[in-house]
Amino acid sequence: MTAILGLSAFYHDSAAALVVDGEIVAAAQEERFTRRKHDHRFPEHAVAYCLAEAGITAADLDYVGFYDKPYLKFERLLETYLAYAPLGFRSFLRAMPLWLNQKLYLPREISRRLDGYGKRVVFTEHHEAHGASAFFPSPYEEAAILTLDGVGEWATASFGTGRGNRIALTHQLVFPHSLGLLYSAFTYYAGFKVNSGEYKLMGLAPYGKPVHAQKILDHLLDLKADGSFRMDMSYFDYCRGLTMTSPRFHDLFGGPPRAPESPLSERDMDIAASIQSVTEEVMLRIGRHVHAATGMKNLCMAGGVALNCVGNGRLLREGPFENLWIQPAAGDAGGALGAAQFIWHQLLDKPRTVRLPDGQSGSLLGPRFDDEAVAAFLETTGARCRRFDDETSLLDFVVEQIASEKVVGWMQGRMEFGPRALGCRSILGDARSTAMQSVMNLKIKFRESFRPFAPSVLEERTHDYFEVREREPSPYMLLVAPVAAARRADLDGRAEGKSGLDLLRLRRSEVPAVTHVDYSARVQTVDAARHGRYYRLLRRFEEKTGCPVIINTSFNVRGEPIVCTPEEAYCCFMGTDMDVLVLENHVLLKTEQPESARVDRAEYLSRFALD
């Protein structure tokens, strides 16, 4: 047996992944255990879970891999500080203590944290880890590989190929020119948190018009036909200061950054639409160039920018590749998995067997809690629940609740690895409801009203509701597609004169709760092989209602990591206006819970910093 532990840590979204004899045994983000969103600290809880899942200790590990090379990253930081000196001195003083005390001594730090492990620590390059996480679990024998993020050591984007058990990244774009950092600069300017609020910017974009797109192309970056570009760094501050944008950037767009949590203006929406438009154009140009350079029909993607599902959807629909597979944990967390797989295939030269539908096991790689564990927990709470002894009765009951416009917390099986809830730690609702989008945003998630919800749809019915190829897989909620024309509602001029958030009130399709204002949806296809009971729930919902689509959003409130344990699910259920909680075979109704079990909502929400 060869056991390899992959780690990502010390920047954001720390995680651990365990590969044993080439099989992905477990993977999880540290935030799910510490309840601190995007936790950057050493993933000791995630490591403990992975080892326990395999029934081994750190002493049984053969290799530990880390997802980037700290000396190369430190070199980039020093060169950047020197290039901008003395302007970056405050940033330099803030960064150096952590580097000199911890980050430059990672082998020592890792050995200290992994009691009993005294063997080698392998450091992959950051984009190698991303590339490995994209290709090795993919369903392709060979494919082009594209990685796009903020920055690793020096690289901000790379491409190459994967064949069999090898990857080769042959081209790269280097810091400070970065599509990820460009998008993050606009995230900051729009008043959202960097490395957290980028998906909000993407969700806000359809409310605006891309009126500043040409200004971005004229002033901020020199974009080439192949998708490469150089940025005018006088508009940005991330090389030398503690913010993302400079006064010159603010002058160009007519004012300072939006204050966090302040009202959104039409300008903010237009800013979001403009950078999203430019990002999609860059992704399309890079995709065409990578296809021409590699000659591959398949494309695998990873890196934080690969979570831009609107750009991904356009790349699949309008780009030259026949097939696209994106690592579900595309950001830094997925680097832990990539590091472990890189060691197994690339360094140890172990063969790779292509798995169908893929080798990611639905990305259901986290902890599970069986019915006995759920029952034991509920006994301690005094909760009133009913237990279903057969699945058919359970599904019929839950379907009835969803169809009655009840909001259902749904916890089943293993927790998802990556930022999306995929039907195991989800909050579910009726996509046909005109009120559900607002109710779930404001009373369940306690988040901004403009944010859209994603649909889960039976894979075999996807093309009936969305403009995709028949049975087009999107199991990891990483592709946006237009709602099918036949399912759209005729607005009859009702949109005239409306703009911004007023557009939310218009019923746009047969599934209004998952139809964004531009008729798009972030689609999750659900199939029997990956999703098991969740697939059977959707089948039963379709049999009862004729509709194969429901709302699927992550089981948490704003600022909270997705729930991991029954206790966390119960606390979220009791601290929100959720109507029903399903924990394996146990079902709780809010109306039946004792008053003494209520959770103080203000106290509950105060546990989590706004994202």
Containing H/E element for 17?
strand 15-20
pTM of this structure: 0.95
CA distance linking residue 521 with residue 579, whole number of Å: 25
DSSP codes, 566-597? HHHHHHHHHHS---EEEETTEEEEGGGS-GGG
- Does residue 351 have a cis bond before it (omega within 30 degrees)? no
The runs of H, that is alpha helices, within 19-88 are 31-34, 44-54, 70-84
pLDDT at 495: 59
Cβ-count burial of 62 within 10 angstroms (0-12 exposed, 13-18 middle, 19+ buried)? Answer: middle
The count of C-alpha atoms lying within 13 angstroms of the C-alpha of 279, restricted to the half-sphere facing its C-beta, is: 33
287-326 b/e (C-beta count within 10 Å ≥ 16 → b): bbbbbeebebebbbbbbbbbbbbbbbbbbbbebebebbbb
Domain residue ranges of the chain, discontinuous segments joined by +: 3-134+330-361, 179-324, 371-458+524-606
Q: Which CATH superfamily is domain 3-134+330-361 in?
A: ATPase, nucleotide binding domain (3.30.420.40)
Provide the token pair at 70: 């700290």
* Amino acid (1-letter code) at residue 451: R
CA distance linking residue 553 with residue 455, whole number of Å: 8
pLDDT at 270: 97
The Cα angle at residue 476 between residues 472 and 481, in degrees rounded to 5: 50
pLDDT at 211: 98
- Per DSSP, the three-state class of 427 is strand
pLDDT at 452: 87
DSSP E strand boundaries for 221-339: 221-223, 229-231, 298-302, 323-326
**Fold matches, 3-134+330-361 and 371-458+524-606:** no
From residue 290, alpha-carbon distances to 264, 287, 300, 315 in Å are: 37, 5, 11, 12
Mean pLDDT by 10 residues, the chain (611 residues): 97 96 98 97 97 98 96 85 71 73 83 92 97 98 98 97 98 97 98 95 96 98 98 93 92 97 95 98 98 98 98 97 98 98 98 96 98 95 94 98 98 98 98 91 87 95 94 95 94 63 78 94 97 98 98 97 98 96 98 86 90 86
CA distance linking residue 237 with residue 80, whole number of Å: 12
The two most distant CA atoms of the chain are separated, in Å, by: 70
CA distance linking residue 347 with residue 456, whole number of Å: 39
pLDDT digits (tens, 9 = 90+) for 391-431: 999 999 999 999 999 999 999 999 999 999 999 999 999 99
Q: Which CATH superfamily is domain 371-458+524-606 in?
A: Carbamoyltransferase, C-terminal domain (3.90.870.20)
The verdict on domain 179-324 having CATH code 3.30.420.40 is yes
Strand partners, 160: 145, 169
